[in-house]
Amino acid sequence: MPKGKSFVEEIELQGHIIDSLLLPKVLDEILTRGGTYVIKDIKLGKRQVDPSYARIEVKADAQQQLDEILRAVHEHGAAPTAQKDCEYELADMEGAFPERFYSTTNYRTQVRLKHDWIDVDDQEMDCGIVLDLKNNSARCLAMVHVKKGDPIVVGHQGVRVMPAETTARQSLFEFMSSAVSSEKPKGVTVREIAATMKRAEAAGEKILAVLGPAVVHTGSVEHICALIQLGYLDVLFAGNALATHDIEQALFGTSLGVWLDRGLPAEEGHEHHLRAINTIRRLGGIQAAVDKGKLKSGIMFECIQHRIPFVLAGSIRDDGPLPEVITDTLAAQDVMREKIRGVGFCLMIATMLHSIAVGNLLPAAVKVACVDINPATVTKLADRGSHQTVGVVTDAEPFLRALVAELKA
């Protein structure tokens, strides 16, 4: 649930609202009573005698405050817009929405049900909205989970989307969203990311890390372990490769057969990752390997030691895979959906596949830092709708080293 202005009503004002100063007066009234506003639509009269029109979204921290604002602005001629409940149709088959289904964004969304605006739970882009008519609630639902008879929201009536707050753009995540460049000062960016992580931690929000195997190849395992030890990593999403190479390093000292301390290929090193997988499979899994004292270091070891939940989602080119890897992608999505609840910050490093997958699941209120040596990964994330992302184009290791130093500072 996003913090801050949560009670919303839409009002409209029509007439000579510019010359009479009624529009600025209404806006001032909203602000002086502690509310905020977004002008959703404004039409200015072309001649002086032509009336103007403004549709304004009013937000407040509490229902009572909102009611007071509405009462106050009503005096100045502003009235709530005529509103209707959302429309819905019962799903006529399993696993697919009715034709006119409302397709969700990752922004906080509300539907109007029985005259009340209610928040849509489990906000996620590219889903539909299923209603619970008994309990007057609504939530995002993936297409595959549609059951016959589910009341699914159709059309746009009675649905409203609240983009991220546009006021008080002071921190990096507000003004630099999706600004991706290899030519931005990294020090400032890293400092801001560290500060955001500290704020998330202090607010009791979870920090999610989505990691690709380059984290291991670049020698960053110790930094991730430090994040876990410092308490700045609460959930880990990755694939078979990250876990495999992390374990390979723990067992053999190499990643993809390259000695991490020397940077030289080991003899028969290309077999190491497969042997690592095989060892873990023989032991019955990562958890079992730690329990039996066979896996004694690395990211996966620290996760198990610190009871950090992780989701390893499989893909088609995986070797093995490790027993904990979920190979059914739909099942993996569902586990990831469950684990992202309560996440307030997400760090994505060196993985296009998992970054985009997680980006699709996260509500827009969750801030994301995407670190990749390839600018395309970050732009792709933003282009697919994850606008809350700050991109950092850099190698994983120097970034993580600097981040850990900032978090320790």
Partner 1 sequence: MRTPRILMCPPDFYGIEYEINPWMSRARGAAPDRARQQWRNLYDALVALGVQVELMTPRPGLPDLVFTANAGLIFGNRFFSSRFAHPERQRETPYFDEWFVGHGFSVEHLPEGVYFEGAGDALFCGPTLFAGYRIRSHAAGHLHLGNVLERMVLPMELVDERFYHLDTCFCPLAPGEAIYFPDAFDAYGRTVLQQHIPKLIPVVETEAERFACNAVVVGKTVIVNAGSDQLAEDLRRAGYACQFVELDEFIKAGGSAKCLTLRLDGEDAADWGDM
Helical residues (DSSP H) of 218-285, grouped into ranges? 221-230, 240-252, 272-283
Buried residues in 330-353 as b, exposed as e (16+ CB within 10 A): eebbbbbeebbeebbbbbbbbbbe
- CA dihedral over 384, 389, 392, 395, signed as positive or negative: negative
CB of 28 to partner 1, least distance (A): 8
Measured between alpha carbons, how far is 312 from 304 in angstroms, rounded to an integer? 13
CB of 47 to partner 1, least distance (A): 9
Q: How far does Cα 377 stand from its chain's mean position?
A: 16
CB of 43 to partner 1, least distance (A): 13
- Residue with smaller CB distance to partner 1, 14 or 171: 14
Cα dist from 251 to 275, 293, 340, whole Å: 9, 12, 31
127 near 147, Cβ under 8 Å? Answer: no
- Residue with smaller CB distance to partner 1, 22 or 403: 22
305 near 229, Cβ under 8 Å? Answer: no
Measured between alpha carbons, how far is 368 from 390 in angstroms, rounded to an integer? 6
The arrangement of strands across the sheet holding 235-239 comes to: 310-313, 235-239, 206-211, 343-349, 367-372, 389-393
- Residue with smaller CB distance to partner 1, 48 or 170: 48
CB of 56 to partner 1, least distance (A): 15
Q: Give the N- to C-terminal CA distance of the chain in Å, as an integer.
A: 30
- The alpha-carbon radius of gyration of the chain (Å, integer) is 25
CB of 54 to partner 1, least distance (A): 12
- Residue with smaller CB distance to partner 1, 4 or 51: 51
CB of 198 to partner 1, least distance (A): 44
Q: Which of 130, 163, 131, 127 has the alpha carbon at shortest distance from 333?
A: 127
- Residue with smaller CB distance to partner 1, 21 or 264: 21
CB of 36 to partner 1, least distance (A): 21
- Residue with smaller CB distance to partner 1, 12 or 92: 12
- Residue with smaller CB distance to partner 1, 13 or 304: 13
CB of 393 to partner 1, least distance (A): 50
- Residue with smaller CB distance to partner 1, 49 or 409: 49
Assigned token pair, 313:
């989602």
Q: Which residues bind partner 1 (CB under 8 A)?
A: 13-17, 19-22, 24-25, 48-49, 51, 74-77, 79
- Residue with smaller CB distance to partner 1, 80 or 231: 80
- Residue with smaller CB distance to partner 1, 22 or 215: 22
CB of 79 to partner 1, least distance (A): 7
DSSP label of 101: B
Instruction: Indicate the burial class of 84 (C-beta count within 10 angstroms; 0-12, 13-18, 19 or more).
Output: exposed
DSSP label of 271: G
CB of 48 to partner 1, least distance (A): 6
